[in-house]
């Protein structure tokens, strides 16, 4: 029998350590070469790892959420015919066993709680009955009826017997029905380990808010004409191919960035440089089962409306289904975000570092507005934006949003070049 130590490989992009995302194996499992053994989390995505040899798993590096350095042992395989680990190398305890041990440690407390709930009467440390909490009026009624209040379940704070409890007890006793048990507030607390994508999101959001002085700017936009154009263009399209507002906003943003290049910038803090990009790599904030991800539409400035809409759908779906590549989840130069029908009136989106700007779409609603000197029902929507105030002046940020507003309110101008 011989051992093979599978060490965490270099996952690229300068990664020096990685978090265990999920194990697909456990100690004692027999695996074949190239079988997927688990996934490791990088800052960008989950990377699946396959077994380099065939053998029996005798030790794992840790549990999901643990961080392993590149080059450190990840899985130890027994590659011989036997399945038992060497005598000097005890196998790692499976997660199930650890869970059982934790449950056993908690058992005395749970048993005590159970005894307390089922005891016929509350007692103090000396074994004597404690005074039941209730009002003087209920005590008097109980005394007149010859009822021991310790037998009456209380639903008030701290088990206090209230009038409804006493009346229900009397009714149940008179009719022979079961004495109702009051519903007590739950004290259960579910512990959720912060691992994987959720941990990365938390760290990135914390860093963005800590390091970037956000400047927020909100503008109201009349999208009545834009919505009419969108519905017209969707008239003969399949449901899965219909246009949303995002590609229109994307095109307007791309046109505006030509005059405000200081907003199409990423900050290289290590070299103390601002990188001003000619290409627009458009980030599209996307809600997924794992949390918020930002897939990227590469060279959005080269795309038509339909092409942009198609690519937004493609990368968003790839992010939601965990099929997006590392390249598709990195490298954006500015981001747009939308909460869809949950968009609310206004929001303060967090900048997707190292970018310096993000544009957010809020919910569109019909409102009475003064239009051409008369009150008319118009479809109104707010754009909520945030900028890095270290590098984007408030005037420039407001001017760019005003340029986008003008194009969205007169949608034909979105398609005019120059």
Nearest to 296 by CA among 321, 329, 250, 248: 329
Average pLDDT over residues 73-89: 64
Catalytic residues, which ones?
A: 389, 393
- Residue ranges of domains in the chain, CATH in brackets: 3-96 (2.40.50.100), 124-193 (4.10.320.10), 196-415 (3.30.559.10)
Peptide bond into 395 cis (omega under 30): no
Rg, the chain, Cα only = 31
* 102 has a pLDDT exceeding 50: no
Whole-number pLDDT of residue 116: 40
CA 11 to each of CA 28, 74, 132, 324: distance values in angstroms, whole numbers, following the listed order = 27, 13, 64, 16
SS3 166: helix
Pairing of strands 73-78, 67-69: unpaired
Q: Is 378 exposed, middle or buried (CB count within 10 Å of its CB: 0-12, 13-18, 19+)?
A: middle
Residue by residue, what is the 3-state secondary structure of 313-374? Answer: HHHHHHHHCCCCCCHHHCCCCEEEEECHHHCCCCCCCCCCCCECEEEEECCCEEEEEEECCE
Helices 394-409 and 245-257 cross at an angle (nearest 10°) of: 130
* 108 has a pLDDT exceeding 70: no
What is the spatial distance between Cα 14 and Cα 16, in angstroms, rounded to a whole number?
A: 6
- Render pLDDT for 33-72 as a digit per residue (tens, 0 to 9): 888 898 888 776 778 888 999 999 999 988 888 888 989 9
Whole-number pLDDT of residue 401: 97
Nearest to 408 by CA among 295, 248, 255: 248
Per the CB < 8 A criterion, the answer to whether 386 and 349 are in contact is yes
Our CA dihedral for 151, 155, 161, 165, rounded to 10 degrees, sits at -70
Tally of residues, the chain: 418
Average pLDDT over residues 307-313: 96
Whole-number pLDDT of residue 17: 86
Per the CB < 8 A criterion, the answer to whether 44 and 13 are in contact is yes
- Render pLDDT for 275-298 as a digit per residue (tens, 0 to 9): 999 999 999 999 988 888 999 999
What is the spatial distance between Cα 260 and Cα 281, in angstroms, rounded to a whole number?
A: 15
pLDDT band at 164 (very low <50, low <70, confident <90, very high): confident
Report the percentage of the chain scoring pLDDT > 70.
84
Per the CB < 8 A criterion, the answer to whether 164 and 154 are in contact is no
Nearest to 50 by CA among 67, 65, 32: 32
For residue 295, give both structure tokens: 């897939």
């Amino acid at each position: 029998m011989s051992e093979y130590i599978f060490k965490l490989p270099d996952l690229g992009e300068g990664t020096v350590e990685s978090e265990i995302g999920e194990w697909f194996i456990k100690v004692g499992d027999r695996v074949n070469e190239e079988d997927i053994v688990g996934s490791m989390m990088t800052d960008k995505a989950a990377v699946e790892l396959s077994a380099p040899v065939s053998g029996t798993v005798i030790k794992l590096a840790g549990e999901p959420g643990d961080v392993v350095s590149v080059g450190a042992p990840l899985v130890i395989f027994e590659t011989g015919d036997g399945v038992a680990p060497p005598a000097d190398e005890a196998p790692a305890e499976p997660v199930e066993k650890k869970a059982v041990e934790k449950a056993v440690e908690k058992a005395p407390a749970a048993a005590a709680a159970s005894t307390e709930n089922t005891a016929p009467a509350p007692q103090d440390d000396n074994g004597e009955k404690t005074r039941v909490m209730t009002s003087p009026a209920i005590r008097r009624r109980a005394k007149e009826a010859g009822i021991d209040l310790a037998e009456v379940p209380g639903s008030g704070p701290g088990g206090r017997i209230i009038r409804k409890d006493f009346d229900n007890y009397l009714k149940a006793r008179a009719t022979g029905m079961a004495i109702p048990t009051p519903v007590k507030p739950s004290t259960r607390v579910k512990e959720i380990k912060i691992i994987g994508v959720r941990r990365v999101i938390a760290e990135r959001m914390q860093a963005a808010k800590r390091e970037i002085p956000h400047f927020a700017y909100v503008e109201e936009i009349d999208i009545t004409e834009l919505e009419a154009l969108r519905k017209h263009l969707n008239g003969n399209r399949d449901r899965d191919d219909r246009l949303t507002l995002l590609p229109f906003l994307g095109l307007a943003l791309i046109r505006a960035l030509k005059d405000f290049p200081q907003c199409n910038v990423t900050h290289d803090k290590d070299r103390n440089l601002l990188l001003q990009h000619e290409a627009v790599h458009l980030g599209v904030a996307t809600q997924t089962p794992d949390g918020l991800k930002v897939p990227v539409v590469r060279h959005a400035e080269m795309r038509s409306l339909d092409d942009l809409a198609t690519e937004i759908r493609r990368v968003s779906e790839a992010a939601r289904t965990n099929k997006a590549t590392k390249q598709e989840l990195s490298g954006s130069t500015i981001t747009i975000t939308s909460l869809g029908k949950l968009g609310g009136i206004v929001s303060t989106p967090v900048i997707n570092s190292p970018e310096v700007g993000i544009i957010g779409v809020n919910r569109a609603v019909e409102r009475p507005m003064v239009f051409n000197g008369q009150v008319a029902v118009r479809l109104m929507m707010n754009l909520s934006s945030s900028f890095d105030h270290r590098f984007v002046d408030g005037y420039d940020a407001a001017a760019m949003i005003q340029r986008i507003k003008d194009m969205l309110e007169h949608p034909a101008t979105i398609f005019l070049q120059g």
